[in-house]
């Protein structure tokens, strides 16, 4: 028998939405108090990051070990990587096209020599320390167990893949361990749901800090850039990802409605990582196999950052236009080529987009890195949109790869999206985790 519909105020998305609105109000009316509430947002994000490693490890290991066909795993990885490269490159191109059409930086006439670069020096230093070789070597942990304590998503993913492949090789002998891990997975996702009770508090603190620290007034000076970025991101989600979703047999608007809890959580915390465990659970509940969810979602957090890519190309051309730096088509294509590589080292956390932008500009000397000081004040306001676009892109990628593999439960997906995605109860959530193949 179906459970009675819960009151609206008990839904996570309503609680988070109310908390975000309250945070904006507190930060606006009492800026000092709002800025002091930063630990609430930081504490919640730390709680979520605490559980991300076991979620990834258990999901990937049980997914791969349950596949039995390791050739299918290699095929899924190849398809996911091809999708990431194609769509993220398209996101960069969209940013470049919009910047060339609208010229959001035109008319600023800023002399780079007059800018105070002290506040961006830290980002530039971090960017210079980020190289392709360093990024690849950082994927390999110092020890197998350190990967599970470092919090580095790609290190966890590497160890999980190796462990899952090894466990699959044990055949029937590994079945007992596999069943144990599946049970632990259900317990871990129950912990996730407990932690989500604190989501409204975290969203309230993070939003109050953002408004209190930077102020709504700081948006006015660079409103055109912020509005252009938000409009471009919305256009990308609705048109580009919408077309991809349509070809895969589902509606992007229905998907957005289904993952609204996660989107509001990201909006409140400015971190797409805060919603990763819930997103993985929902994609499994929507008919995507555990093996594909466990591989595509974590990998997408480093390789499929559509929002960050749009931001990089748009912000780079904004700085060039604001400083009257003329870029040829060849230089813009070089910028895009560099960004394709540099963006792959970004994690879905607050501030990473700014660091990757610094890394990109340092390789393309035509654009003054000092110009980053122009957008530092509003970067935080664009961080929410970057994270929102990133998480939608990864949700679409997971469903598309599952569809390509022929393992997507299309009837379940259609049913779940049509129902609007009511949150499963704790018992239903546990059943989903135990029954998922």
Residue in this structure with the two tokens 């070809």, named with its chain if needed: 247
Backbone angles phi, psi at 222, to 5 degrees: -120, 30
- Give the model's pLDDT for residue 437: 44
Q: The tokens 């230093």 sit on which residue? A: 125
Integer CA distances (angstroms), 206 to 26, 76, 216, 260, in order: 11, 37, 15, 18
Q: What local confidence, expressed as pLDDT, does residue 131 receive?
A: 59
**What's the pTM?**
0.79
**Paired tokens of 185:** 């997975």
Question: Domain spans of the chain?
Answer: 8-435
Helix boundaries (H) for 196-251: 199-214, 218-221, 223-235, 242-247
Give the residue among 15, 351, 55 at the shortest CA–CA distance from 198: 15
CA angle 396, 262, 314 (to 5 degrees): 60
pLDDT in tens, 132-176: 566 677 788 888 888 888 777 788 888 988 998 888 888 778 888
> Tokens 């105020």 sit at which residue?
9
Mean pLDDT of successive 10-residue stretches along the chain, which has 437 residues: 57 80 87 88 85 86 78 86 92 93 84 68 58 71 85 83 86 84 89 86 85 70 82 95 95 94 84 84 92 88 87 90 88 84 56 71 77 75 86 95 93 90 49 47
Taking the CA atoms of the chain, what radius of gyration do you get in angstroms?
22
Q: Coil, helix or strand for 169?
A: coil
Query: What is the C-alpha to C-alpha distance for residues 161 and 157, in angstroms, rounded to an integer?
Result: 6
- Report which of 150, 179, 394, 414 is spatially closest to residue 294, judged by C-alpha positions: 394
Q: Which pLDDT does position 123 carry in this prediction?
A: 58
Rounded to 10 degrees, the C-alpha dihedral 96/100/102/104 comes to 80
Domain 8-435 has CATH 3.40.50.300: no
pLDDT in tens, 380-412: 778 888 889 999 999 999 999 999 999 999 999
Judge whether 236 and 94 are in contact, CB under 8 Å: yes
**Dist. CA 317–CA 106, nearest whole Å:** 10
CA distances to 37, 340, 368 from 132, rounded to whole Å, are 37, 11, 22
What per-residue confidence (pLDDT) applies to 344? 63
Quick one: pLDDT at residue 205? 87
**Tokens 């500009």, residue?**
361
């Amino acid at each position: 028998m179906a459970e009675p519909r819960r009151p609206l105020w008990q839904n996570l998305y309503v609680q988070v939405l109310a908390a975000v609105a309250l945070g904006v109000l507190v930060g606006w009316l009492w800026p000092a108090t709002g800025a002091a509430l930063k630990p609430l947002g930081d504490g919640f994000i730390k709680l979520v990051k605490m559980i991300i490693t076991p979620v990834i490890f258990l999901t990937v290991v049980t997914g791969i070990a349950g596949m039995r066909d390791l050739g299918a795993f290699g095929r899924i990885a190849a398809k996911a990587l091809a999708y990431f490269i194609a769509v993220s490159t398209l996101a960069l191109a969209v940013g470049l096209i919009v910047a060339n059409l609208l010229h959001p930086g035109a008319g600023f006439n800023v002399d780079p020599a007059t800018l105070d670069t002290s506040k961006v020096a830290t980002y530039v230093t971090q960017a210079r320390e980020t190289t392709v070789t360093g990024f690849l070597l950082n994927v390999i942990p110092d020890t197998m167990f350190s990967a599970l304590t470092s919090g580095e998503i790609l290190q966890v993913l590497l160890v999980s893949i190796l462990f899952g492949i090894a466990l699959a090789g044990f055949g029937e002998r590994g079945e007992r361990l596999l069943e144990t891990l599946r049970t632990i997975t259900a317990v871990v996702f129950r912990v996730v749901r407990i932690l989500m009770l604190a989501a409204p508090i975290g969203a309230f603190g993070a939003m109050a800090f953002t408004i209190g620290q930077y102020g709504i007034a700081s948006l006015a000076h660079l409103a055109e850039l912020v509005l252009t970025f938000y409009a471009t991101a919305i256009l990308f989600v609705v048109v580009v990802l919408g077309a991809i979703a349509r070809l895969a047999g589902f509606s992007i608007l229905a998907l957005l409605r289904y993952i609204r809890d996660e989107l509001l959580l990201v909006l409140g915390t400015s971190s797409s990582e805060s919603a990763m465990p819930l997103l993985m659970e929902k994609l499994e509940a929507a008919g995507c196999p555990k093996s594909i969810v466990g591989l595509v979602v974590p990998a997408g957090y480093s390789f499929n950052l559509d929002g960050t890519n749009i931001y990089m190309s748009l912000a780079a051309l904004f700085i060039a236009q604001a400083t009257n730096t003329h870029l040829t088509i060849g230089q813009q294509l070089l910028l895009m080529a560099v960004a394709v590589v540099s963006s792959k080292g970004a994690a879905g956390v607050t501030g990473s987009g700014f660091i990757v932008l610094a890394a990109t500009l340092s390789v393309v000397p035509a654009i003054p890195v000092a110009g980053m000081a122009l957008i530092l004040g509003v970067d935080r306001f664009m961080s929410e949109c970057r994270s929102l676009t990133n998480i939608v892109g990864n949700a679409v990628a997971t469903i598309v790869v599952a569809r390509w593999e022929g393992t997507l439960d299309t009837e379940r997906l259609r049913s779940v999206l049509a129902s609007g995605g009511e949150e499963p109860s704790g018992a239903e959530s546990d059943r989903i985790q135990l029954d998922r193949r």
